[in-house]
Amino acid sequence: MINTPQDILNILTQVPQATAIYDNADLRIAYANADMLDMWATTDRVLGANLGDCFPEFEMQGFVDLLKDVWHSGKTYQAADVPASIVLDGIPTTFYFDFEYRALLDSQGKTYAILHTAKEVSSRLEAWAAVRKKEMHEAALNSELRASVEEQQALTEEYMALNEKLADTVDELSQSYKQLDFALDQSRRAKDAANLGMFDLDVKNDILSWDDRCKALFGVPLGSDVSYTKDFVAGLHPDDRQATLSAVKNAFNRESSGGRYNVHYRTVSPTDNAIIWVHAIGTVYFNEADEPIRFIGTVMDVTESVTSRKALEDRERRLQETNEELASTMEELTATMEELTAVNDELATTNSQLKKSEQVNTEVNKNLTSAFERLSESERRLNLAVLSAKIGIWEFDTANEIVSWDERSRELFGASQQGKIPYPLALQCIHPEDRTAVADAISYAQRPESEGYYDIQFRTIGEHNTHTTWVQAKGRAYFDEQNRPVHFSGTILDISDRVQSQHKIDAFNRAIAQNALEQRLIVDAGKIGTFSFNPETKDIVVNKHTRDMYGLAESAAVSADQLFAHNIMLGDVEQGITIQQIIEEQNSFDVEFNLPIAAEQDKWLRIVGNRIWNEENRNLMAYGVIIDFTAQKSEEKRKLDFLGIVSHELRSPLTSISGYLQILQLKSKSLENKQFYELLVSANRQSARMKLLIESFLDIARIGEGKLRLNKVEFTLHDLLSNIGQMLQQTVTSHVFLFHVDVQQLILADRDKIEQVIINFINNAVKYSPVGSKIEINAQVEHGELYIEVKDQGAGISEEDQHKIFTRFYRVENSQTEMVSGFGIGLYVSKEIINLHGGTIGLRSVVGQGTTFWFKIPVVVTSEASAATDLLGRSTEETNQELPSS
Ligand code: ADP
């Protein structure tokens, strides 16, 4: 029976829920049951007081205002899972509540009390939170598990299936605690199947749960409870304990590890001290304040792999150690080897040094020996030299003025006394003209300022003035510390020959000087120009006369161009080659040229010289003289003119004479007076020669005047040569003629002049080759040119003469030619004739072997020669016959 409000209140105390009643708007606590007081962490002393006064923290957290709202509004307020901070032992602690503020209304609907019921749900929430975290961490765990599976490669397919189941279970776990337990159980089983142990540490409550596997790993009897310190910490191998505990500590620090835990350690069984290698993986779960709440993970026996790994490592280590040992042994060996090598090297060096020093010793010995040998040799030689050079040796005792001389000295002085003689006596043997000089030299040598040197040439005449010998005396005086002469000795040598040679050289030099003077005088008198020319550097030095000839100012620079650029001339004909070319090509040169100095005024100069090697500048230098022969040239011209006039005047009477002679010869034949006939034949031959000569002279005159003209006609060479052949048959009996003619063409040329050239060649061959020798006449057409040569077996012509042979009036002068008459005009005229035909003329000759004169002229073919007869009138295409002398 409920009689009093107290009874109701008493009943209320039984309500299994925290309950409080506030009975005014200030929230006076009219009633609070034990649960409520517990929840508030207070006692019944708060009854009758206002809620806000008792619990300022409620005021701050807005609960008071909320209640006041309920009071005034009369509306009940419900909330779930609301956190509220309650001060426990002075420390604000958060709890979670489901609560209701129910407004109790009177009949007017006014609030007369509030019924406050509350239920602490912290643990539920925590559990939820844990579940959520668990979900996450289980997922992590899963991946770790997978990692473990991969890592250890021991997880079977079954495990994979179980793992999936575990994943499912974890899903279910998220539904409820039961499911969690179930899942954990499942996972435990899974781990069991995978040989994994599992541990679960309730951090807050320090409750450690190990599954059987885990216990087995730590050697803890199954069924017994385990504790962190007693079983885990104590069960760790002392060597691994510290590292493992610090890994745990690290896992508990969310910031540094994120709660992750992954270690290898050894456990030591408390019963049999068995050691097991364990791989533990785990996760620490934290609450919102980052405080660790749970620490869950797996452990696995990895003894086998660790042992094998260790064994491997051991082996590796041992191997490594062995290797290191080996390496160090090797190093030692190498070092020893190096030392040995170094020692060896040293030994070798020492050896080689020893050898060297031995060699040096031997060398020194050898050198010494050879030096000694040389010394004795030179001594011997000196003696020999002294003997053979007949050097005399003397010594002068300065204090006593006594000369000690050897036999040779005595001989050279021409004295009779041997060994030692008084100085005045020695002086007596010297030529009176030289005596004072010698005495002076001797006394000067005894004075310190001379440094003791004595060197003089003088004549000795002998005691009785019997001879004159030129001698050279050399000596040296030595002084003591007071500069007194203490020793004075020397040599004496007969230099008569040398003096005589010197006299000769002096005379020769004087002669040369005289010669040079004369030459200069000649050069000056003859106004001969001189030059020296370096073909390499083109440096040129000329004298005054050269400058005068060329009209060059005294100070003007002279170049080779100015001097040598002119074309050389042979006679009046330009040769198309400059003086410089000749000088640079030939070792000796003698050329003429025409130097135009003013309009209509020419100078004829001749340059004669040689190229000589100059030792000083190491060049082949050209030296020469330049002679102005304009005067001679004019003279020559006058002579030529005269010759021309005379020849011209002689020609008409000679023509008449030869006509008369030919008539007389014809007539005399019938007279049958052989002697008379032969005289006439001879007279005829001479007149023919004279005619030829006069024609040549006239030709020269014509050439000089440029009046030599060609009268070209068509003819066959065969006709021409057969005429010549017949003429030769009649006139020349001394030589054998051979004709080789291979020419069919008609020739257009000046027949007479070509004949003149050929006859000139043949006449020369006859004149300049021995009687009875062969003379070949060859003719052929070659590359469109008529080529004719006359080859003899005569004396030949030197190369030097070959250059000048076509010059007007040039004749080779030697013993063979001096007996042969001639004017040196035949070849000159021949050359002009061939030049006028536009051809070339030349010769090949080897001295002692013969000469071949040839010419070439362009062939103008008009028609083929009709019929050819041989040179004796026989019909033939080619003649090759001898014309024996008749
Ligand atoms: P010459 O009337 O003196 O013979 P050339 O002009 O015919 O005049 O010849 C010039 C010089 O050439 C001769 O004096 C002679 O010394 C030389 N000579 C010419 N032909 C020959 C030859 N066949 N053999 C040797 N010397 C020759």
The pLDDT score that the predictor gives to residue 867 is 41
Closest by CA position to 590, among listed 582, 578, 598? 582
Q: How far is the CA of 811 from the centre of ligand 1 (A)?
A: 6
In the structure, what pLDDT confidence band is assigned to residue 750 with cuts at 50, 70 and 90? Answer: very high
Q: How far is the CA of 282 from the centre of ligand 1 (A)?
A: 137
Ranges in the chain annotated CATH 3.30.450.20: 5-120, 127-364, 390-494, 527-628
531: three-class secondary structure by DSSP: strand
Measured between alpha carbons, how far is 23 from 48 in angstroms, rounded to an integer? 9
Check whether 438 has a pLDDT greater than 70: yes
In the structure, what pLDDT confidence band is assigned to residue 883 with cuts at 50, 70 and 90? Answer: very low
Q: Is the CB of 828 under 6 A from ligand 1?
A: yes
The pLDDT score that the predictor gives to residue 150 is 63
Measured between alpha carbons, how far is 747 from 757 in angstroms, rounded to an integer? 15
CATH superfamily to which 709-883 belongs: Histidine kinase-like ATPase, C-terminal domain (3.30.565.10)
Q: Is the CB of 854 under 6 A from ligand 1?
A: no
5-120 is classed CATH 1.10.1740.10: no
Lowest mean pLDDT among 461-470, 606-615, 664-673: 664-673
In the structure, what pLDDT confidence band is assigned to residue 189 with cuts at 50, 70 and 90? Answer: low
Lowest mean pLDDT among 112-121, 203-212, 864-873: 864-873
Percent of the chain whose predicted confidence (pLDDT) is above 70: 83
In the structure, what pLDDT confidence band is assigned to residue 170 with cuts at 50, 70 and 90? Answer: low
| DSSP secondary structure letter of residue 556 | S
The pLDDT score that the predictor gives to residue 383 is 67
Measured between alpha carbons, how far is 236 from 664 in angstroms, rounded to an integer? 172
Mean pLDDT of the region 135-145 = 66
Measured between alpha carbons, how far is 229 from 235 in angstroms, rounded to an integer? 9
Phi, psi of 390 (to 5 degrees): 55, 50
238 compared with 34, residue with greater pLDDT: 238
> Residues of 682-695 as b/e, b for ≥16 C-beta within 10 angstroms?
ebbeebbeebebbb
- Region class of 599: left (phi > 0), else alpha (psi between -120 and 50), else beta: beta
Measured between alpha carbons, how far is 304 from 307 in angstroms, rounded to an integer? 5
Angle at 755 between CA 719 and CA 697, to 5 degrees: 155
pLDDT averaged over every residue in the chain:
83
Q: How far is the CA of 764 from the centre of ligand 1 (A)?
A: 6
Q: Is the CB of 692 under 6 A from ligand 1?
A: no
Measured between alpha carbons, how far is 644 from 697 in angstroms, rounded to an integer? 6
The pLDDT score that the predictor gives to residue 868 is 43
Measured between alpha carbons, how far is 278 from 196 in angstroms, rounded to an integer? 10
Measured between alpha carbons, how far is 217 from 213 in angstroms, rounded to an integer? 6
Check whether 884 has a pLDDT greater than 50: no
Cβ atoms of 728 and 737 within 8 Å: the answer is yes
Which CATH class, in words, describes the domain spanning 127-364? alpha beta
Q: Is the CB of 535 under 6 A from ligand 1?
A: no
CATH superfamily to which 390-494 belongs: PAS domain (3.30.450.20)
The pLDDT score that the predictor gives to residue 814 is 83
Q: Which residue CA neighbors atom 23 of ligand 1 most closely?
A: 765
Q: Is the CB of 823 under 6 A from ligand 1?
A: yes
Q: Is the CB of 141 under 6 A from ligand 1?
A: no
Check whether 125 has a pLDDT greater than 80: no
Six-digit token pair at 518? 């004369």
Which CATH class, in words, describes the domain spanning 527-628? alpha beta
pLDDT in tens, 768-792: 999 999 999 999 998 889 999 999 9
> Residues of 302-333 as b/e, b for ≥16 C-beta within 10 angstroms?
bbebbeeeeeeeeeeeeeeeeeeeeeeeeeee
Phi, psi of 259 (to 5 degrees): 85, 5
Mean pLDDT of the region 682-687 = 87
Q: Is the CB of 827 under 6 A from ligand 1?
A: yes
The pLDDT score that the predictor gives to residue 77 is 93
